[in-house]
Amino acid sequence: MTTSPNTMRAWQVREPGPISGHPLELVEKPVPEPGSGEVLVRVLTCGVCRTDLHVAEGDLAVHREQVTPGHEVVGEVAASGPGSARFAIGDRVGVPWLRRTCGACQWCRSGRENLCRASQYTGWDVDGGYAEYTTVPEGFAYRIPEQFDDATAAPLLCAGIIGYRALRRAQVPPGGRLGLYGFGGSAHLTAQVAMAQGVEVHVLTRGEAARRFALELGAASAGDARDRPPVPLASAIIFAPAGDIVPFALEALAPGGTLALAGIHVSDIPPLNYEQHVFHERTITSVESNTRRDGEEFLVLAARLGISPQTTSYPFEEADRALEYLAVGDVRGAGVLRVSERG
């Protein structure tokens, strides 16, 4: 086994609470040792995802006390644990949200490992990428397509992959009309994939700047999340963690349409009227994490379609500020932490 440094800087959740109360703290802690079948990754960049905000604010139950968030990690392999052979020292890899599954349950054996009840997640169950080093089981790491630099690759590892799964779950017909509710890191990548495949995209989001951004990317229309889109939608995806949007999205669907809820956390959904919201064979579905196959497929597709993540860069020392901007929706595209320089 190769040797590793002893200590590192890392952010951790001191006590979950509103981000305005600064629940994160920057500390020095030991560099983790890669276990059997794992590699140690020197973090270069880490995307700032809404799930990190949910972990910091306590919207998600605490799975690890004083956890280090972050699960859109791009880095270099710095050391390998016993039995690791997939990557060489210095290889660039991506560390995603899904960290481990049991591999033996009905869900894993049927190709739906995202539903494994024993699954573990980076930055929630195990310390993640708001740190100078993190570990990952080598079977759950991704090779990054060469055309993406370290900053633009980071949001692909969750925002992109989850958006891809949500797009599939929404069952958009060829050349159909898709509504995207919320337009942050995941939605702006999903929009690019959908439009590249001939789908007509309509964006509905609260932020005026986000609406302008959507039109710049080629959306057919952009309005407020509670507006009715100019045309009936074949499919819709809600990325915003706001359950009160669900009735508006359902009303916007044409008969036979599908609504996918892409968030890991969504506020309560108000009562629905059967005739107004559900009848005419409308479908409501959700998205839970992703499979490794989703990730591999999406990264190949993103490279082939020339997907261009728009990022806002933050110094590693300003991770808490990056989450504050995310909380108010004041980030164009996806936020990315600059953690280390290439060796």
Mean pLDDT of 217-229: 97
User: Which ranges in 76-231 belong to alpha helices (H)?
Assistant: 106-109, 150-153, 159-169, 185-196, 208-217
DSSP secondary structure letter of residue 3: -
Structure tokens at 190: 């999903």
pLDDT at 2 over 60: no
Compute the distance between CA of residue 183 and CA of residue 117 in angstroms, rounded to an integer.
30
| pLDDT recorded at residue 1 | 39
For residue range 165-187, list pLDDT tens digits in order: 999 999 999 999 999 999 999 99
Angle at 337 between CA 332 and CA 343, to 5 degrees: 135
Mean pLDDT of the chain: 96
According to CATH, the topology of domain 161-286 is: Rossmann fold (3.40.50)
Largest Cα–Cα separation, the chain: 64
Mean pLDDT of 14-31: 97
Mean pLDDT of 256-281: 97
- Mean pLDDT lowest among 78-82, 136-140, 219-223, 332-336: 332-336
The pTM assigned to this predicted structure is 0.94
For the chain, the domains span: 7-157+310-338, 161-286
**3-class secondary structure, 19:** helix
pLDDT at 116 over 60: yes
Confidence bin at 329 (pLDDT 50/70/90): confident
Q: What amino acid occupies position 247?
A: P
pLDDT at 343 over 90: no
Compute the distance between CA of residue 178 and CA of residue 123 in angstroms, rounded to an integer.
31
Closest residue by Cα to residue 311 from 144, 153, 100:
153
Mean pLDDT of 209-221: 96
The number of C-alpha atoms within 13 Å of 39 and in the hemisphere containing its C-beta is: 25
What percent of the chain clears pLDDT 70, i.e. is strictly above it? 98
**3-class secondary structure, 65:** coil
* CATH 3.40.47.10 corresponds to the domain 7-157+310-338: no
The number of C-alpha atoms within 13 Å of 66 and in the hemisphere containing its C-beta is: 7
Token pair 């040792």 is found at: 33
Confidence bin at 328 (pLDDT 50/70/90): confident
**3-class secondary structure, 8:** strand
For residue range 270-302, list pLDDT tens digits in order: 999 999 999 999 999 999 999 999 999 999 999
**Are residues 201 and 265 in contact, defined by beta-carbon separation less than 8 angstroms?**
no
- Mean pLDDT lowest among 96-110, 251-265, 328-342: 328-342
For residue range 60-74, list pLDDT tens digits in order: 999 999 999 999 999
